[in-house]
Structure 1
Amino acid sequence: MNRNSAQTHRIAPRTGVAFRLPKGAALVVVDPEGTQVSDLLAFAEADVREVISNGRTFDYEQTLSLTTGNRLWSNRSRVLLSIEEDTAGQHDFLLTPCSKDTFRHFYPDKPVHRGCFGNLAEALAPWGIAEDQIPVAFNCFMNVPVHADGSIDVLPPASKPGDHIVLRAHEDLVIGLTACSAYASNGGAFKPIDYRIDLQSEGNS
């Protein structure tokens, strides 16, 4: 499959975008400089009340470690996206998008930023998606180990420059995507995220 012909878009550090991803298309999310998280949301375009669900996904995929071959399910038990390639192999689907409250809670000595939640809310508003409809995001490249005692850490991503994940749309979708704004999630630095959309179907590889 030749993805080089698809236009690459860059999300500036600590910002977010929303766009349509048609059924059958592949979304390629790239960490161009390494060690940068990207929060990803997917809503069914036909009814944006249908959205990716971490609970349904963990249940049906029977794993917390989602990578090549796994699928992201909706709150209505339908597959919205499947992971076709994954060079990073490490992502998070436990933690909610960072917000102003996140910064007040974890970074009281840092300036308050609206975070991924605020960026996603603004980007998704034209699609009729309200703040209360924003769920837990699929956090590409995020490093959240779960320990035997149930505790978690948020560590810098292990992703290297150019690492990417490819997700195939099973329905017409509205996608929200960010370059994450939280300090711990990105090792204290903020970098861009690249993405491109491959409109070729699986049968035209």
Structure 2
Amino acid sequence: MCEGTVRIQPCSGHAVELEAGDELVVIDPMGQQVSDLTAFNREDLDEYLSSGRSIDYASKLWLTTGDTLYSNRSRPMFTIIEDTCGRHDFTLTPCSKEMFEKLYGEEEGRPGCEGNLARALAPWGINRDRVPVAFNIFMHVAVDAEGKIAVLPPLSRAGDHVRLRAEMPLVVAMTACSAGQSNNFSYKPIDFRVERASDRAKA
């Protein structure tokens, strides 16, 4: 890993604070691993990353380089400034205990990304009920002509990354996704690093 890179272990989550102008680089170190990402306005936690607003304003389902991720108040939260994969999902909710029970037949479902995001966000008082639909980085969801969906193996290869510029002060949480179907049934880590605007200004 590069200096300053943080590793999110398989089936876990991590949170970080960003300032406006900071750049967050989310990396798939081994390939075919999804990271669920959500964010909240650090100065007003009732404002959060919105799938519906972002898709609506982009007029497309799959967002990539040059697109903006909006909040529930229609304000820019992130700009995607680099994307080496080009296929992500912003429609399906984070995997959860109940999802593992209903779709995978587990008698006692694991916490999944929903639980791991909530655990990471707990220091900011954000609980499970407040975790919205996440930006599922590297997740490959196909939609056919009848509107039926299929979760396919990610297109990401080892080293693929997405670079997001924060457009406001944020609390951001990310996971290394726990859903087998999303990750081609292989649970791997996710790496990330934060490149601070303040450091670039000094350079």
TM-score by length of 1: 0.94
Does the Cα contact within 8 Å between 1:91 and 1:141 map onto a contact in 2? yes
What CA distance in whole angstroms lies between the structure 2 residues aligned with 1:69 and 1:156? Answer: 24
What CA distance in whole angstroms lies between the structure 2 residues aligned with 1:149 and 1:202? Answer: 49
Where 2:142 maps in the other structure, the secondary structure is coil
Of 43, 46, 50, the match for 1:49 = 46
Does the Cα contact within 8 Å between 2:97 and 2:108 map onto a contact in 1? no
Where 1:20 maps in the other structure, the secondary structure is strand
Cα shift at 1:200: 3.0
Q: Number of residue pairs matched? A: 202
Residue 101 of structure 1 corresponds to which residue in structure 2? Answer: 98
**1:135-184 CA-partner distances (Å, limit 9, x unpaired):** 00000000001111111100110100000000000000000100000010
Which one-letter code corresponds to 1:198 in the other structure? E
User: In the alignment, does 2:154 pair up with 1:160?
Assistant: no
What CA distance in whole angstroms lies between the structure 1 residues aligned with 2:58 and 2:188? Answer: 31
Q: What's the % identity of the aligned pairs?
A: 53
TM-score by length of 2: 0.95
Query: Deviation above 4 Å: which 4+ runs of structure 1?
Result: 201-205
Does the Cα contact within 8 Å between 1:50 and 1:74 map onto a contact in 2? yes
Of 70, 89, 105, the match for 1:73 = 70
Where 2:140 maps in the other structure, the secondary structure is coil
Residue 178 of structure 1 corresponds to which residue in structure 2? Answer: 175
- Relative to its length, the structure with more strand (as a share) is 2
Does the Cα contact within 8 Å between 2:31 and 2:158 map onto a contact in 1? yes
What CA distance in whole angstroms lies between the structure 2 residues aligned with 1:201 and 1:122? Answer: 29
Cα shift at 1:192: 0.2
Residue 36 of structure 2 corresponds to which residue in structure 1? Answer: 39
User: In the alignment, does 2:1 pair up with 1:12?
Assistant: no
Structure 2 unmatched runs, 5+:
none
Structure 1 unmatched runs, 5+:
none
- What is the Cα-based RMSD across aligned positions, in Å? 1.8
Residue 88 of structure 2 corresponds to which residue in structure 1? Answer: 91
Cα shift at 1:106: 1.0
Which one-letter code corresponds to 2:91 in the other structure? L
Cα shift at 1:34: 0.1
What CA distance in whole angstroms lies between the structure 2 residues aligned with 1:89 and 1:111? Answer: 35
Residue 188 of structure 1 corresponds to which residue in structure 2? Answer: 185
